[in-house]
Structure 1
Amino acid sequence: MTGSYLYDKDFYAWAKEQANLLRVGDLARADIAHIAEEIESMGRTEKRELVSRLTVLLLHLLKWRHQPVGRGNSSRLSIANSRDEITDHLADNPSLKSLLVPTLVSAYRYARRKAAVETSLAEETFPETCPWTFEEIMDEGFWPEA
């Protein structure tokens, strides 16, 4: 079994086979179309990961701002960890920086809904659009007040 057949039937075997073909330079036998598709998919995965990490950070910041009774060391450390994870993810994928504005918009939309669920506050309690810039949310000294 080789190429496209394996792609549909046994992805792991296909991936190993394709990696080997690329390593030995046998491009004629490589499943180029599917390899390209998988590489593009990996790029989308990295973008989704950034949205996910930003969502977590924004969720914590919204809860910090709108539920001050829950502020504590655990919340502070969760925010710090989220910032570090985003910094590391962007260091590994610097071209994602060009997508920060639309990514922040998407992440905030998710974070706003999650904040409403987790705080039991009405969704309208939270601003409709993100009230902060990327630079603000990543600033270690930024702690939003109500």
Structure 2
Amino acid sequence: MSNAPKVDAADDLYDRDGYAWSKREADLLRQGRFAEIDIANVVEEIESVGRSELRAIVSSYRLIAMHLLKWQHQPERRTRSWRNTINRERGTLEIDEAKNLSLAARPLPLIDQAYRTARKDAADETGLPLSTFPETCPYTAEELRSRDFLPE
């Protein structure tokens, strides 16, 4: 017997207690009680997971690109902290891409998206004019991912 409570369509568990809702839906799925599943919200949650994975990878590319731009355009201000941030984000990116092979296989649109913000962030953080930084990402996906690459 399931621990999942039998609920009717008027139940608002999804809005009241997301954790209890997710446990109930998982139990219903495991038991094959498909007619009782809150399909609309299950679909929304699955799509949300995909969006979160995408956001995480774009965020890592953004941070890596921003710090590489700072590294390249302000060599006199290079710090261990910048290098640590680059390497930490490369590690995070490696883990996230290993769990999301379809995103890892097509990095260029993600890099383009991330770079638009990275460029602005680098200008804000360095105080250099936005025009200092190339309009398109000067780094390849391999360079952004490689723990050995730092622009000089």
With the length of structure 1 as denominator, give the TM-score of the two structures: 0.90
Q: Determine which of 137, 144, 148 is the counterpart of 1:137.
A: 144
Alignment length (residue pairs): 145
Query: Quick check: which has more Rg, 1 or 2?
Result: 2
What amino acid maps onto 2:98 in structure 1? A
Q: Determine which of 42, 45, 52 is the counterpart of 1:38.
A: 45
What amino acid maps onto 2:34 in structure 1? L
Tell me the alpha carbon deviations over residues 99-133 of structure 1, each in whole angstroms, 9 at most, x when there is no partner.
31110001000100111111111111111110111
| Inter-CA distance 2–64: structure 2 relative to 1 (3 Å threshold) | farther
What amino acid maps onto 2:17 in structure 1? D
Q: Which residue is 1:106 aligned to? A: 113
What amino acid maps onto 1:59 in structure 2? M
Is 2:77 aligned against 1:70? yes
What amino acid maps onto 2:133 in structure 1? F
Q: Does structure 1 retain, via aligned residues, the 8 Å contact 2:61–2:144?
A: no
Q: Does structure 1 retain, via aligned residues, the 8 Å contact 2:98–2:104?
A: no
Q: Which residue is 1:10 aligned to? A: 17
- 1:45 CA displacement: 0.9
Tell me the alpha carbon deviations over residues 34-92 of structure 1, each in whole angstroms, 9 at most, x when there is no partner.
21221011101100110011111111101100111221322222211111111111111
Is 2:67 aligned against 1:51? no
More divergent stretch after superposition (70-79 vs 59-68): 70-79
Q: Does structure 2 retain, via aligned residues, the 8 Å contact 1:2–1:14?
A: no
Residue identity (%): 48
- 1:141 CA displacement: 2.5
Is 2:33 aligned against 1:20? no
With the length of structure 2 as denominator, give the TM-score of the two structures: 0.86
More divergent stretch after superposition (36-45 vs 105-114): 36-45
- The structure with more helix, counted as a fraction of residues: 1
Q: Which residue is 1:90 aligned to? A: 97
* Structure 1: gaps spanning 5 or more residues: none
Q: Does structure 2 retain, via aligned residues, the 8 Å contact 1:112–1:123?
A: yes
Tell me the alpha carbon deviations over residues 1-59 of structure 1, each in whole angstroms, 9 at most, x when there is no partner.
55563223433332222122112221111112221221011101100110011111111
Q: For 1:2 and 1:128, locate their aligned partners in 2 and report how far apart those are by CA, in whole Å.
A: 54
